[in-house]
Amino acid sequence: MRINPSIGPDRARAVFDEELQGITTDAALRDLRHRWLARSGSWVAGFMDLLAAAAPAEKKALGRGANELKRHVEQALGDREAALAATKRPEGAVDITLPGRQPSLGFRHPLSLIREQIGDIFSRLGYQVLEGGEIEDDYHNFEALNMPEEHPARDMQDTLYLATPVPPPAVPPPTRGRAPRTPQPLTLLRTHTSAMQIRQMERHDPPVRLVAIGPVYRRDNLDLTHTPMFHQVEGLVVGRGITLADLKGTLTSMATALFGEGQQVRFRPSFFPYTEPSAEVDIRCIRCQGAGCAMCKRTGWIEILGSGMVHPAVFEAVGYDPAEFTGFAFGMGIERVALLKWGVEDIRLFYENDLRFLEQFGR
């Protein structure tokens, strides 16, 4: 609009506000400032001229109106100037929305993560963590565990044997128990990490407090839930007065650490040759919280491990007095924990090493 102070300060203010609206550049803002505030020829200068010529009766009101307009214009221009400055890049600015330069950082294997977590849980509870050898002799894998030759329980774990035995590792011979004093050649792939526990007991007096972690092997065909190699963690506590209730407390605490606070656990009687009494442990289905779903076969519970009180025959094999000592033991598949924890539907994914899979579990 043409500069026309005769419309009065109030209408002029509306004109200014409208003109300010469209300003987006510094140049336009400079022009606007000139048009409204310049010493001569501007809206404000026009009002000053009007004021000088005004009748004494109108002078007071017009003066106040003109001053208010000037203050408003200065204030609004200042605000807009600051706002425009804020959107502007400073000298030498970069586009901070571009992606950062990430140093490459690898991903942990999910089984390795669980394995470490379990090791940490039990280290904190004062257990020693052992790994042991993956090829074993028949005595330590079966016989010492109350599974003599022709025992039906051997069918529970179909074994992979070596075509040619491998010489035993050069370790000091056992100091106690029934183990052959000359080390036996290693003939099979261990079907569980229990063999490690026997080897430890043969060389150490009670109390014992250990977990054995590592790969184990069974002659199972690959399918959604089976692999011929998998990872196991087994715990063993031996001492005076160790009870099944101690096992329950320990495993409940482990389940909570693995699956979250408030995780419910139940014990079901079962059978293993190396424990008596034996129990299988279920956790409340982590998908349906017990309501019943496909994952828990509508029972609300999911089996996660086998456990029990160490069988006296096992103590006798390692030379511990079963009248003096009791102990508990448990064994759990690490893949199974990973399957449940992350909802993985095919166990074979753990062994394909597909980066699209591995990159889902954090570093």
Partner 1 sequence: MNVLLSWIREFVDVAEPAEEIGRRLSLRGLALEGLEAQGDDWLLDFDVTANRPDCMSVAGIAREIAVVFQRPFRAPHTRLAGAVRTHTAPSMTAPAVSIRIDAPDLCRRYVGAVADVRIGPSPQWMADRLTACGVRPISNVVDITNYVLLELGHPMHAFDHERLAGPAIVVRRAADQETLTTLDGKARTLRGDMLVIGDAARASAVAGVMGGAASEVHSGTTRIVLEAAWFKPQSVRATSKALGLRSEASMRFERGADLTAATVAMARAGELLEQTGAGRITAPFIDVYPEPYAPQPVHLAQPRIAGLLGMAVPEADVERILTALGFQATRSETGWRVIAPGWRVDQHRDVDLIEEIGRHFGFEHLPSTFPGVQQAPQPSDPRIARDQRARRIALARGFSEAISFAFIDARHASPFLAGAAPVALANPLSETFAVMRPSLLPGLLAAVSHNRRHGRRDVQLFEVGTRFSPSGESRALALAWTGLATPDHWSGQRRDVDLFDLKGVVEHLAEAFDAPLTFDLPAAHDLAADVLVPGRAATLHLAGTAVGVLGQATPAVCDGHDMPGTDATYVAELDLDALSRHSGALRMAQPLPRFPAAVRDVALLLDEHLSAAEVRGTILSEAPDTLVSVVEFDRYQGTGIPEGKVSLALRLTYQSRERTLTDAEVDTATDEVVGVLHISLGAVRR
For partner 1, which residue of 57, 98, 261, 262 counts as binding (CB under 8 A)? 98
CB closer to partner 1, 44 vs 145: 145
CB closer to partner 1, 75 vs 123: 123
Query: Should residue 353 be labelled a site residue for partner 1 when binding is judged by CB under 8 A?
Result: yes
Helix (H, G, I), strand (E, B) or coil at 351: helix
* Of 269, 296, 294, nearest in space to 284 by CA: 296
Largest CA distance in the chain: 127
For partner 1, which residue of 77, 255, 279, 314 counts as binding (CB under 8 A)? 279
Closest approach of Cβ 92 to partner 1, in Å?
16
Distance CA 89, CA 5 (A): 38
Q: Which residues contact 20 (CB under 8 A, 6 or more apart)?
A: 32, 76, 77, 80
Q: Which residues contact 98 (CB under 8 A, 6 or more apart)?
A: none
For partner 1, which residue of 167, 172, 262, 362 counts as binding (CB under 8 A)? 167
Report the site for partner 1 in 286-305 (rule: CB under 8 A). none
* Of 213, 217, 252, 216, nearest in space to 236 by CA: 213
Report the site for partner 1 in 102-121 (rule: CB under 8 A). 102-109, 111-112, 116, 119
Binding track over 233-272 against partner 1, x by CB under 8 A: ----x-x-xxxxxx-xxx-xx------------xxxxxx-
For partner 1, which residue of 194, 197, 232, 326 counts as binding (CB under 8 A)? 326
Report the site for partner 1 in 17-46 (rule: CB under 8 A). none
Query: Should residue 225 be labelled a site residue for partner 1 when binding is judged by CB under 8 A?
Result: no
Query: Should residue 191 be labelled a site residue for partner 1 when binding is judged by CB under 8 A?
Result: no
Report the site for partner 1 in 131-160 (rule: CB under 8 A). 131-135, 150, 152-153, 155-156, 160
Q: Which residues contact 305 (CB under 8 A, 6 or more apart)?
A: 251, 280, 281, 330, 331, 332, 333
Q: Where are the beta strands (DSSP E) in 167-264?
A: 186-189, 208-217, 229-239
CB closer to partner 1, 167 vs 172: 167
Q: Tell me which long-range contacts 243-252 makes (C-beta under 8 A, separation of at least 24).
A: 243/309, 243/326, 243/328, 244/277, 244/279, 244/308, 244/309, 244/328, 246/328, 247/279, 247/307, 247/308, 247/309, 247/328, 247/330, 250/125, 250/328, 251/281, 251/305, 251/307, 251/330
CB closer to partner 1, 45 vs 295: 295
Task: Please give the size of the binding site for partner 1, defined by CB under 8 A.
Answer: 93
Query: Should residue 341 be labelled a site residue for partner 1 when binding is judged by CB under 8 A?
Result: no
CB closer to partner 1, 42 vs 200: 200
Segment interacting with partner 1 (CB under 8 A) among 34-42, 63-71, 83-91, 207-215: 207-215
Is the separation of the CB atoms in 295 and 305 below 8 Å? Answer: no
For partner 1, which residue of 58, 71, 161, 345 counts as binding (CB under 8 A)? 161
* Of 109, 107, 106, 122, nearest in space to 258 by CA: 122
Segment interacting with partner 1 (CB under 8 A) among 5-13, 14-22, 23-31, 165-173: 165-173
Query: Should residue 175 be labelled a site residue for partner 1 when binding is judged by CB under 8 A?
Result: no
Query: Should residue 183 be labelled a site residue for partner 1 when binding is judged by CB under 8 A?
Result: no
CA distances from 338 to 32, 111, 297, 346 (A): 68, 7, 19, 11
Query: Should residue 176 be labelled a site residue for partner 1 when binding is judged by CB under 8 A?
Result: no
Closest approach of Cβ 99 to partner 1, in Å?
7
For partner 1, which residue of 2, 88, 101, 181 counts as binding (CB under 8 A)? 101
Query: Should residue 180 be labelled a site residue for partner 1 when binding is judged by CB under 8 A?
Result: no
For tokens 């183990």, what's the residue?
Answer: 179
Half-sphere exposure of 79 (CA within 13 A, CB side): 9
Tokens of 65: 């109106």
Report the site for partner 1 in 54-83 (rule: CB under 8 A). none
CA distances from 237 to 85, 168, 201 (A): 70, 26, 11
Query: Should residue 362 be labelled a site residue for partner 1 when binding is judged by CB under 8 A?
Result: no
Segment interacting with partner 1 (CB under 8 A) among 7-15, 47-55, 220-228, 283-291: 220-228
